[in-house]
Amino acid sequence: MGEKDFSDRTLVGDDSLSFVSRDVFRAVRGGVADPIARAEVLADLCRINTLYMIMQAGSGHIGSSFSSTDIITWLWTEALRDPNGTSRDAEVYFSSKGHDVPALYSLLIATEKLGFELLPKLRQLNGLPGHPDVSTPFIATNTGSLGMGIAKAYGMARANRYTGRTGRIVVMTGDGELQEGQIWESLQPCANERLSDIVVIVDHNKFQSDTAVAAVSDLGPIEEKFRVFGWEVRRGDGHDFRVLRDTLAHFDTVTDRPKVFIADTIKGKGVSFMEGIACGDQTYHFHAGAPTLENYVKATRELIARINTKLEALGQPAASLTPAPLPVRIAPKHPEKIVLAYGDELLAMARQRPEIIVMDADLLSDCGIEAFKAELPQRFIECGIAEQHMVSAAGGMALRGMLPVVHSFACFLTTRANEHIYNNATEKKKIIYVGTLAGVVPGGPGHSHQSVRDISAIGAVPGLIAFEPCSEKEARLAIRWAVEQNAESTYLRFCNVPLDLPYAMPDGYALQVGRGVTLRQGTDVAIIGYGTMLLTNAWKAADELAQQGISAAVIDLPWLNRIDDAWVKTLGAYKHIVTLDNHYLEYGQGVMIAAALARNGVRAEVSPIGLAEIPACGSNADVLAYHGLDPAGIARTAAARTTVRT
């Protein structure tokens, strides 16, 4: 039977959102007796709510969520016994890849394991974190840098042996995630110790981020690799519920080794134009972020039409959707494109400097280097999700006279590969490291992606200078300085949040190591920070303070681990100084400023603002306010101290 148009009774508007209500889920769960048919309908209903959650949040991972939705649905509605419960044979499920957590939230809400009031609270403060976090019921582990999941399952299985517990431990991984070395470190001990309670499911959707896995780092004969490590291997259609049922039943009969199911899936499964390379340009377009409203409406209509065709064939009433208003968001009018400016300047230099080699860890567009790859593909190396390999390879290139420029998210580059960066430093060869998505915002992805310890992680590396630019102009100056003037290595830190900047760099501004620049004059208090987000909020705080009769200077100090003593002495003009850190307070820039003031005998009250706990997850405004880094929080701290002094 062909699909019918049910849009006239499903409340899918062109200017609003729609979701599946609790009552619809209850009707399907109670009315459809066949497990296969029930799972098919529930999975598509969950896809609708996953889309709704991502639209409400303004971000999320559609493709990865949709490719694993069928697997998650079967596990949680038919296969798992007392999942994450308290009985001696309770079973555990968690996702190592983490990007698919909206699909899991949607399913947990549909089965009433989580409250329905959480549906619109993805990536909101006190809501549902953007990546798995154990603060949420039924989430067994946090997801951090990719590759950790199987090792965590090993630890759980060993703990079960010590305590006499039983029950499967089911882990979802991504196929791109298999590029992480830790995955392969985990396989042998699981097999050696015959941990048959571990079941790994590889969501083999053939894409990582927006590029085919095979084009980045081909996995090769994946089944044979797992078998060589001593695992029981099955492969099949990850969207066929019969295959899922039969595979898990077979695994129950294997008691002497861990098992892996390589589930062949389709990224974006369930919506025709979101599946794989449906757009026809070899790029996946729905990896991260919310779709356009037009695409959202098209996708929801396609899903509800298919659902109601199935329900009609099953003799069940049609499902209708509940309307919801669109979230209100205000976009910047003229955002500073700081990462793109950096990439443009790097490319301009590379045209004249053949020693420059650009390396990337599967984050091409986020690092501003798409144009470099397009123009100089022979000098671009895509290393995939393998930061440690990339950094050590950069060390090898530097030893042979090249100038490697290494890119990834700051949270992964500076920590996952920290010992490799240090090893490179001991060889005293020049390398440029570029970490993007630095700091506490965007706050939606949660603590696994909020890079708020990279300054401390990398700041003490000998022969490495860390720098965060606050504008397109300073970004261009920074990469030129790193390539042309700095004889040692450089770490460039970028905040990726698009912002309208209220300030401009002074005419004739030039970089001087360890010295700041005053963006706004003031006499009562100096607010010192770095990067676009901190300095934008500092400027707005200064506006608020001005209304209270307090004159606040705003100073850009882009050098994160260097400070010039002669320049520090000029800060003696201020009796009170507020330091801002888009980072933990411990070993951030503020600590360095306070130490330099004391070292140089500058008598000033210093009020540091930064993170004192694991960063909150939520909208950017809510997260900044929570940690006191919003304009109101900065102004409040500055006013309190200045008023006391006065």
What's the rounded mean pLDDT across residues 620-643? Answer: 93
| Crossing angle of helices 62-74 and 101-110, rounded to 10° | 40
For 227, the token pair is 């078998």
Residue 594 has pLDDT above 80, yes or no: yes
| Crossing angle of helices 22-31 and 35-57, rounded to 10° | 170
pLDDT tens-place string over residues 459-478 = 999 999 999 999 999 999 99
For 306, the token pair is 């298919």
The Cα 344–Cα 342 span in angstroms is: 5
pLDDT tens-place string over residues 490-542 = 999 999 999 999 999 999 999 999 999 999 999 999 999 999 999 999 999 99
For 518, the token pair is 């005053």
Describe the strand order of the beta sheet including 576-584 as a list of residue ranges.
517-520, 552-556, 525-529, 576-584, 605-611
Residue 3 has pLDDT above 50, yes or no: no
**One-letter amino acid identity for 644?**
V
DSSP string, 495-564: -------S--PPTT----TT--EEEE--SSEEEEE-HHHHHHHHHHHHHHHHHTT--EEEEE--BSS---
pLDDT tens-place string over residues 170-225 = 999 999 999 999 999 999 999 999 999 999 999 999 998 888 899 888 999 999 99
Q: Is 12 helix (H, G, I), strand (E, B) or coil?
A: coil
**One-letter amino acid identity for 194?**
R
4 — pLDDT class (breaks 50, 70, 90): very low
Specify the higher pLDDT residue, 9 or 642. Answer: 642
The DSSP call for residue 2 is -
Name 122's bridge partners. 128
Residue 159 has pLDDT above 70, yes or no: yes
Residue 645 has pLDDT above 60, yes or no: no
A 10 A CB-CB count for 341 gives 20
Q: Is beta strand 464-467 parallel, antiparallel or unpaired with respect to 489-493?
A: parallel
pLDDT tens-place string over residues 419-460 = 999 999 999 999 999 999 999 999 999 999 999 999 999 999
Query: What per-residue string of b and e applies to 309-340 under the rule 16 or more CB within 10 Å gives b?
Result: bbbeebebeebbbeebeeeeeeeeeeebebbb
284 — pLDDT class (breaks 50, 70, 90): confident
Short-list 494, 402, 491, CA closest to 442: 494
